[in-house]
Every structure is written in C-alpha cells, then in structure tokens.
Amino acid sequence: MSVPAIEPAIAAVQAAAAVCRHVQRSLDALRAMTKDDASPVTIGDFASQAVVARALTQAGIMRRGLIAEESGAFLKQPEHQTHLEACLAALHESGAWPKPTADDLIAAVDLGDADPAALTSSEGGWTLDPIDGTKGFLRGEQYCISLAFIRNGAVELGILGCPNLAPTSPPRKRRTTSDFHSQAGSISYALRSQGAFELNPEHPTAPTRLSLPPLPADHPARLAESVETAHTRKDIAADIMSRAGPVGPSINMDSQAKYALLARGDADVYLRLPSRKGYIERIWDHAAGMLLAQEAGCTITDIRGKPLDFSHGRGLETNAGILGAPPALHTRLLAAAREVLKEPLA
C-alpha cells in the first residue's frame, strides 16, 4: 500500500499556515477580545486542526481520522462563544476556509480524536500538532504545523510548515536566532527512504533536496535547543555537548523548526532531556521532524540510543529524551550522555 499523495497533504499544511499567520498578526486584537493573553494560540490551534482535518478528508486520504491535541468540546461551551466566533472569522478572513459554519468547524476539529490503533495498522493514520511551539507563536517567533503519516508504527511521511522560518541558505552560515526569521516561511517534508525536501515560497514547484554537508571533525557543534527551560535540562545538555568535542553557540528556538535546522545543516545537534522523571514525549511533537532530519542524513534516537518507537499510541512510551546529530557526532554525544547520566531518565 502506497503512502498517501504528498501534494494534498502539503496543501493542507499550507492552508493551516495561512490561518495561523492571520491569527499571529492579530494577537493584540484577539487578546483584547477574549481578555486572555493565551487565547490567540487556542484560536489558532482549533483553526489549524480544523483546516488540516477538512483538507485531508476532502482529498480522500484520511480514512481513520486524525490523532491530534484538540477537541471541539471547548468550542461548544457557551462561555467560549467568543473563541468560536474568532476562530470562524480567522478561517474566513485568511481564505483557509471561506464561510465555515460553527457545526462544520467543530465536527472538523473532532476528527482529531481518532483511535491511535490506526498508527500500528497496515492502513496507517495521521497525527498532527496544529501549532507546535505555543510560546514562540505568542511571542511572534518560531512555531510550526507538524503533520505525519504513520503506518505499522513507522513514520512514512512528515511535513513541517514553518511560517516564520527562512528557507535554506548555505549551511552553517547563519549566526543568530534572528537570522532564521522570515515572513516568507518555508515548508519541509520527507518520505521514508526517499529523502527530505524543502519548498521555497519563491520557487514552489522546485523543491530543494536536503542532504547534510560534510561535518569537519573540528567544527564547533551548534545545539538547537528550546527557548523554554521547562522543556529540557539545559545544564545537563551543556555538559554532554562539552564532552563530545568543540561547542559553538546554541540556537534557541521553539518548536520542531529545530529539526528543520538540523536537516539543513544550520544546526548540528538536537538534544532534549526529560525535565522530570517519568515524562513521556508526544508523538506529534517529533514524528515529522524526526523523519525530516533522518532522511537528510542525521541519526535520531532517544538518549539511550534506542530508535524512537511510534507504536504505543499517543506517547513515545518506551523512549527517554531525544538525540539527533550527524552519525559520527551522534556516536560521540551518546557516549558523553552515558558518562553524564548516572541514573535512568525515565
């Protein structure tokens, strides 16, 4: 059975990116309307999920629903009528879904409550993070729409729509986080065993193949890490990095956009350590990004060297942390992690 057609899936992510851009441009107005500083990302999450679910359904490539974060129950509550109206307006004004009804919107959002068993079936299923990088979205910085198709527990297709991430430039040339910001945005995608690619908005019919450039042995490795300290153990990550060889300045960025940097060679290491014992990563936070970096030539495992296992429902139940890097550097980092981590992470 073949992987679902890539074109309608990319179109779904592009439509979600359009509505998310609209919401991000309207942050102040939406905060004033809802009297809640976090409401804009809530509105964006619902709008993005609805657009993707609707598009995949209309294209005939989503048979068993979508495994995603949001439920339409929130929008049905009378006290959230303002959020519902704002979501409908954002969909219409962005052009992502002209003139949706409230019932249609809620029904589309509820398609995200599919049975995770689809992901381990021969038919496969989809998983979505409608806005990955909540804090980045609210700060007007990096976030992404992350869509992946998983079959028999393996990620076969991954798409990252990054509305604020500049397209590829010569690798390892950018120096600061702000250098990666562009309102043009970019979309990256990967097909299992077929490679990783990036779509440049200025050349939408000519995708660029992503393939890691050679990494010199004395190259100061750059870590792409979360802005939020609650997402990882930055102190331990710094110790691991220092033991594995020369270290360059870190790139602080929200969302799976970090995986896109890794796939392009703009960053050299993705290292995420559980911030508390027993923490379980969600599949939608890593599926698309992992495949993208992997197909570009990176090695992606957990911090113990185990492949990421997407056969346990909504969580990476058998994994602890994430480590991604070019193969030789990954080997050094894994050895360093074993030196540093004396106790199990989860």
pLDDT in tens, 213-224: 888 888 999 999
User: What was the pLDDT predicted at 170?
Assistant: 63
Contact between 285 and 322 (Cβ < 8 Å): no
Rounded distance between C-alpha atoms, residue 3 and residue 12, angstroms = 16
Q: What's the whole-number mean pLDDT along residues 60-75?
A: 91
* DSSP run (H or E) holding 61: none
What's the whole-number average pLDDT of the chain?
A: 91
User: What was the pLDDT predicted at 310?
Assistant: 97
C-alpha distance from residue 283 to each of 59, 81, 148, 248 (Å): 24, 31, 9, 30
In the sheet that holds 154-162, the strands lie side by side as 66-67, 125-132, 144-151, 154-162, 186-191, 195-200, 203-210
Question: Per-residue pLDDT for 342 more than 50?
Answer: yes
Contacts of 20 (CB under 8 A, 6+ apart): 44, 47, 48, 131, 137, 143, 145, 163
User: What was the pLDDT predicted at 172?
Assistant: 59
Burial of 101 (0-12, 13-18, 19+ CB in 10 A): exposed
Q: What's the whole-number mean pLDDT along residues 300-320?
A: 96
Is 309 assigned a catalytic role?
no
Q: pLDDT: is 132 or 199 the higher one?
A: 132
User: What was the pLDDT predicted at 136?
Assistant: 94
Whole-prediction pTM value?
0.94
Residue type at position 333: L
Contacts of 334 (CB under 8 A, 6+ apart): 301, 303, 305, 323
Question: Per-residue pLDDT for 305 more than 90?
Answer: yes
Give the pLDDT band (50/70/90) at residue 288: very high
Encode pLDDT of 162-204 as tens digits. 999 998 766 656 566 778 988 889 999 999 999 999 987 666 6
Mapping DSSP to helix (H, G, I), strand (E, B) and coil, where does residue 98 land? coil
User: Which of the residues 42, 45, 129, 299 is marked catalytic?
Assistant: 45
Rounded distance between C-alpha atoms, residue 41 and residue 47, angstroms = 10
Residue type at position 239: D
User: What was the pLDDT predicted at 48?
Assistant: 98
- Range among 178-187, 266-275, 317-326 with highest mean pLDDT value: 317-326
Give the pLDDT band (50/70/90) at residue 65: confident
Give the pLDDT band (50/70/90) at residue 103: very high
Q: Quick count: other Cβ atoms within 10 Å of Cβ 57?
A: 17
Question: Per-residue pLDDT for 109 more than 70?
Answer: yes
Encode pLDDT of 4-62 as tens digits. 789 999 999 999 999 999 999 999 888 888 877 778 899 999 999 999 999 999 999 99
Give the pLDDT band (50/70/90) at residue 346: very low
Is 134 assigned a catalytic role?
yes
User: What was the pLDDT predicted at 228?
Assistant: 78
Give the pLDDT band (50/70/90) at residue 69: confident
Encode pLDDT of 238-257 as tens digits. 999 999 999 999 999 999 99
User: Which of the residues 127, 134, 232, 301 is marked catalytic?
Assistant: 134
Chain centroid to Cα 304, Å, comes to: 22
Q: What is the largest CA-CA distance in the chain?
A: 60
User: What was the pLDDT predicted at 39?
Assistant: 86
Q: Give me the percent of the chain exceeding a pLDDT of 90.
A: 77
Structure tokens belonging to residue 337: 């992690």
The 3-state DSSP composition of the chain as helix, strand, coil percent (nearest 5) reads: 40, 20, 40
Q: pLDDT: is 327 or 3 the higher one?
A: 327
Question: Per-residue pLDDT for 339 more than 50?
Answer: yes
User: What was the pLDDT predicted at 1?
Assistant: 44
